[in-house]
Chain A
Amino acid sequence: MAELTYREAVAAGIAQEMARDERVVFLGEDIGAAGGVFKATVGLFERFGPRRVRDTPISEQAIIGAAMGAAMTGLRPIAEIMFSDFFGVCWDMIANEIAKTRYMTNGQISLPLVIRTANGAGSRFGAQHSQSVENWAMAIPGLKVVAPSTPADVKALIAAAVRDPDPVIVFEHKSLYAVKGEVPDGETVDTLGSAKVLHPGKDCTIAALALMVPRALEAAARLQSEHGISCEVIDLRSLVPLDTRTLLASVEKTARLYTVEENPRLCGWGAEIASIVAEEGFWNLDAPICRITTPHIPLPAADRLEDATIPSVDRIVETVRRTMD
């Protein structure tokens, strides 16, 4: 067991897969000698060389198109989109081509590729570099979507994404890159579509993703100590596939559900979860499902405004406390 930062765990996951399988190649902007703008790919270029770790021009379409072609011709590419906001220019390739290729070729061509990207707020990067767009990806049939919250998870879920036969989007969180955590030694591979109950509780369920997971855990600790409310915190980890079994079982136990979402409120992933629980877990609910989200606004760059926008520990504590009656 080693203590790694989230960014080191990203590099470790990529390295593990590149070492395991020669077909795994890695491409993106400044990922090579520079080690990535978030320093999440340090050492890969040195270890695997310029043939398998390729810096690209500043053209997201080129990156995605090259990854698609590589996957079509037998490689297992990992593409990096520096900021998830930049998916905006990639969607035709991702949504209309990559996500649909297996279906439109009647299974003759599958695309075992991974698109990694830095998602989310907290770095004062403003409206075009701070968004949480996991719900964009989630809306497209044919894509798998994961968003790990810990170093151990990001390593093992990247490994699972690389080994998956179909396109997987991995949302890493900018504000988690510096977070440290224990990562098991040796080869680790996780399972896509499995949520984790990180903190058992009996009074309510808090479903969270990525940066919202540590905030939900801190809120749960405070709710327990300050208000005697026992919260079960679930790290969803994967939106597609979604581990509804864990979620519904938890709601059956606690009878209350909160989602903590960094994506903007309208059609955020919590809306889908609320819909599922309302449909399949309705007779277990003792209170309305409550979503704690970023409001439906462009993100501000100013630090105080950004902090006020994204769900905070205080907001989670206050919302749960106020509605637990």
Chain B
Amino acid sequence: MDILMPQLGETVTEGTVTNWYKQIGDAVRADEALFDVETDKVATEIPCPVSGVLAEVLVQAGQTVKVGTRLAVVSTASDANASPAAAPEAARASAREAAHTATPSVAEHPERGAQAFAHSRAHEQDAAARADARAVAQSTDARPDRERKLSPVVRRLLAEHGLDATAIRGSGRDGRVTRDDVQAHLARQEALGVMEATANARSAVPQVTSPLPPGEGPGVREAGAKPGERVVALNNIRRRSGAAMARAWQVVPHVLQAVEADYSRIEQARRAKQAAWQAREGFELTYLPFLAFAVCQALTRYDQLNARLDADTLIVSRRVHLGIAVDLNHDGLIVPVIRDAQDRNVAALAREIRRLALSARSSKLKPDELSQPTYTISNSGVFGTLITAPIVNPPQVAILSTDGVSKRPVVVESPEGDSIAARPVGVLAQTFDHRAVDGAYSAAFLKELKRIVETRAWIEDIV
């Protein structure tokens, strides 16, 4: 069976294979992770559709190919019956694999262990243990760079090219990655047309590329950095979303409008239901699912904001596919999509938002969870922001920022007279594409949104 480059989202035309979990000859079960793909939207794990043996790899890790390209062939039991050649091929491949991992450094140079560690008796005693360890060591070492023996030049090259040593097969002693290994790796990448090494989009922190403490070190610094500076390589997601944002900023006439909303009723519902919710669901009930629900409600009345601009027409969607911007631990932004959000209640939205955020942060989003939303919420509220002016992501025509909620003095009107009360208040800010709608329409939407937030009996939405 042919394995093809999947369509990871409607607008995605190509993907980069970043890792194969299996090597030729390996058995693979259906739904077992087969390879990783990185696109401009996401890095994700692709499961194998069938059980069988990986017979051919046609696209090596690092290569970028069009959607639909044949990546590999998995021979299944029925294939083997149909083609007698498949099984011996797999067997040969297994033999190659076995030979490859049998640590050539020990097999070919038995004297090394003795000579390298014969300085002292203690070292000699270690030597046997080390040799044993080497015999089972993988040739690609998965330890973090800091714990590995990397020479200065290797550290510099890794930093300059934004590479991760764990991705490079080491040919030196004990599997050490040598300079030649890095250069060979770079040459392969260049040959594949990947001119810029892609930083690992999955790492939890930005790839700080300087091996030097900031502002220190001798004469040699990485390109572009002055003394006291360090270079942070932009990962794939940030580079591509950055380019998209720049395009949007140039093309879309942005208008920002904001309303202040009283969250008292949502807060009341949260307070009343939080303990039971936490006990039942295992996570905190935040403001966001309430707002998502309110947005869906408001969009059903003001549906021209739930639309896409296509040349001279506005194509209005009957369904709300709600994008929720998720921060990848400050290492990029991704927008998973709640399909048919208009059909979900607050609890369902809460569970879906939670699930998508977790999937996004562990790169487990599926392609349809990354398809184009019809409207997007960007939630900076957890950081206590006052107001955020988000950038519209075309062809969508609007985006809402939900900012921090805090207690503020609010004038409360009642038949007995006005009074000042402490109420949880937050700003809801919408940026819209002025080519699609006008300020009055957007303002009406915001007014409706504010009305729903402030007046709905939210407490009845949570069981």
Interface of chain A residues 228 through 283 with chain B (CB within 8 A): 255, 279-283
State which of A255, A282, A322, A325 has its C-beta within 8 Å of the C-beta of B218.
A282
Contact A285–B112 (Cβ < 8 Å): no
**Which 5 A-B residue pairs are closest in the complex by CB-CB distance?**
A286-B179, A283-B220, A283-B156, A325-B173, A286-B151
B115 at the interface (CB under 8 A from A): yes
Q: Does A287 contact B (CB under 8 A)?
A: yes
Which residues does chain B contribute within 8 Å of A255, judged by CB atoms?
151, 153, 179
Interface residue? B84 (CB, 8 A): no
For the complex, what is the distance from the CA of A322 to the CA of B112, rounded to whole Å? 8
A280 touches B151 (CB 8 A): no
**Chain B residues with CB under 8 A of A279:** 218
Q: Is the CB of B179 within 8 A of A280?
A: no
Bound-state Cα–Cα, A285 to B116, Å = 20
Query: Which residues does chain A contribute within 8 Å of B219, judged by CB atoms?
Result: 280
A61 at the interface (CB under 8 A from B): no
A-B contact pairs, 19 of them (CB 8 A): A255-B153, A282-B220, A283-B152, A283-B156, A283-B211, A283-B218, A284-B156, A284-B220, A285-B151, A286-B151, A286-B152, A286-B180, A287-B151, A322-B112, A322-B115, A325-B105, A325-B112, A325-B173, A325-B176
Question: From A256, which residue of chain B is reached at the shortest CB distance?
Answer: B179
Q: How far is the CB of B31 from chain A (nearest CB, A)?
A: 42
Question: Size of chain A's interface in residues, with CB distance under 8 A?
Answer: 12
Query: Which residues of B line the A interface, CB within 8 A?
Result: 105, 112, 115-116, 151-156, 172-173, 176, 178-180, 211, 217-220
**B110–chain A nearest beta-carbon distance, Å:** 13
A277 → chain B closest CB, angstroms: 11
Quick check: B153 and A286 within 8 Å, CB to CB?
Answer: yes
* Across-interface contacts of B178 in A (CB, < 8 A): 286, 325
Q: Closest residue to A284 on the B side, CB-wise?
A: B153
In the bound complex, do residue B218 and residue A285 qualify as a contact, i.e. CB atoms below 8 Å apart? no
Given contacts A280-B218, A286-B178, 17 further A-B contacts (CB under 8 A): A255-B151, A255-B153, A280-B220, A281-B220, A282-B218, A282-B220, A283-B153, A283-B155, A283-B211, A283-B220, A286-B154, A286-B179, A287-B151, A322-B116, A325-B105, A325-B172, A325-B176
CA distance A287 to B179 in the complex (A): 9
Q: Which residue of A lies closest to B212 (CB)?
A: A283
Report the nearest A residue to B159, measured CB to CB. A283
Tell me which of B152, B176, B180, B211 contacts A285 (CB under 8 A): B152
Residue of A nearest to B156 (CB): A283
With both beta carbons as reference points, the residue of chain A lying nearest to B179 in the complex is identified as A286
B153 touches A285 (CB 8 A): yes
What is the minimal beta-carbon distance from A213 to any residue of chain B, in angstroms? 26
In the bound complex, residues from chain B placing their C-beta under 8 Å from that of A282 are 152, 218, 220
For the complex formed, measure the closest distance between the CB of B159 and the CB atoms of chain A, giving whole angstroms.
9
CB closest residue in chain A, given B151: A286
Residues of A within 8 A of B220 (CB): 280-284
A68–B129 Cα distance when bound, in Å, is: 64
* Distance (whole angstroms) from the CB of A154 to the closest CB of chain B: 35
Which residues of B have CB within 8 Å of A286? 151-154, 178-180
Nearest A residue to B111 via CB reads: A322
With a cutoff of 8 Å between Cβ atoms, the chain A residues found around residue B116 in the complex are 322
The closest CB in chain A to the CB of B154 belongs to: A286
Q: Which residues of A contact B172 (CB under 8 A)?
A: 325
Which of B151, B155, B217, B219 counts the most A-chain CB atoms under 10 A from its CB?
A: B151
Chain A positions within 8 Å of B151 at CB level: 255, 285-287
B171: nearest chain-A partner, CB-CB: A325
- A177→B112 CA distance, assembly (Å): 39
- For B154, list chain A residues within 8 Å (CB): 286
CA–CA, A282 and B220, complex, Å? 8
Q: Which of chain B's residues have a CB closer than 8 A to the CB of A322?
A: 112, 115-116
Known contacts A255-B179, A325-B172, A325-B173, A284 near B152 by CB under 8 Å: yes
Query: Considering the chains assembled together, what is the distance between the CA atoms of A223 and B179 in angstroms?
Result: 20
Q: How far is the CB of B222 from chain A (nearest CB, A)?
A: 9
**A15-B363 Cα distance, complex, nearest whole Å:** 80
Chain A residues with CB under 8 Å of B155's CB are 283
Contacts of B152 in A (CB 8 A): 282-286
Chain B's closest residue to A279 (CB) is: B218
Q: Encode A279-302 as 1/0 by CB contact (under 8 A) with B.
A: 111111111000000000000000
Task: Kindly name the residue among B116, B152, B178, B180 whose own CB sees the greatest number of chain A CB atoms within 10 A.
Answer: B152
Q: Enumerate chain B residues within 8 angstroms of A284, measured Cβ to Cβ.
A: 152-153, 156, 220
Instruction: Kindly state the separation between the CA atoms of A279 and B217 in the bound complex, as whole angstroms.
Output: 9
Would you give the 0/1 interface string for A12-54, flagging 1 where the beta carbon is closer than 8 Å to chain B? 0000000000000000000000000000000000000000000
Q: Which residue of B lies closest to A254 (CB)?
A: B179
CA distance A219 to B184 in the complex (A): 27
What residues on A are CB-neighbors of B173 within 8 Å?
325
A255–B179 CA distance with the chains assembled, in angstroms: 8
The chain A residue sitting closest to B222, CB to CB, is A283
User: Closest approach, in angstroms, between the C-beta of A138 and any C-beta of chain B?
Assistant: 23
Measured between beta carbons, the chain A residues less than 8 angstroms from B218 are 279-280, 282-283
Q: Provide the residues of chain A in CB contact with B180, threshold 8 Å.
A: 286
Q: How far is the CA of A196 from the CA of B105 in the complex (A)?
A: 35
**Of residues A281, A285, A286, A287, which shows the largest number of chain B Cβ atoms within 10 Å of its Cβ?**
A286
Smallest CB-CB separation from B220: which chain A residue?
A: A283
Complex Cα spacing A286 to B170, Å: 13
Smallest CB separation, B169 vs chain A (Å)? 15
Residues of B within 8 A of A281 (CB): 220
Q: How far is the CB of A78 from chain B (nearest CB, A)?
A: 39
Residues on A with beta carbons closer than 8 Å to the beta carbon of B115:
322
Tell me the smallest distance from the CB of B165 to a CB of chain A, in Å.
13
Residues of chain B lying within 8 A (CB to CB) of residue A285: 151-153
Closest beta carbon of chain B to A289's beta carbon, Å: 11
Q: Which residue of A lies closest to B150 (CB)?
A: A286
CA distance A223 to B374 in the complex (A): 67
Q: Which residue of chain A lies nearest to B177 when distances are taken between CB atoms in the complex?
A: A286
Which of B176, B211, B218 is most buried by chain A, counting CB atoms within 10 A of its CB? B218
A325 to B108, CA, bound (A): 13
Complex Cα gap A287–B153 (Å) = 9
A279 to B155, CA, bound (A): 16
Contact with B along A202-228 (1 / 0, CB 8 A): 000000000000000000000000000
Question: Nearest-CB distance from A224 to chain B (Å)?
Answer: 16
Closest CB in chain B relative to A203 CB, distance in Å: 8
A322 and B115 alpha carbons, distance in the complex (Å)? 8
Contacts of B156 in A (CB 8 A): 283-284
Nearest-CB distance from B212 to chain A (Å)? 9
| A4-B173 Cα distance, complex, nearest whole Å | 46
Compute how far the CA of A50 lies from the CA of B463 in the bound complex, rounded to whole angstroms. 119
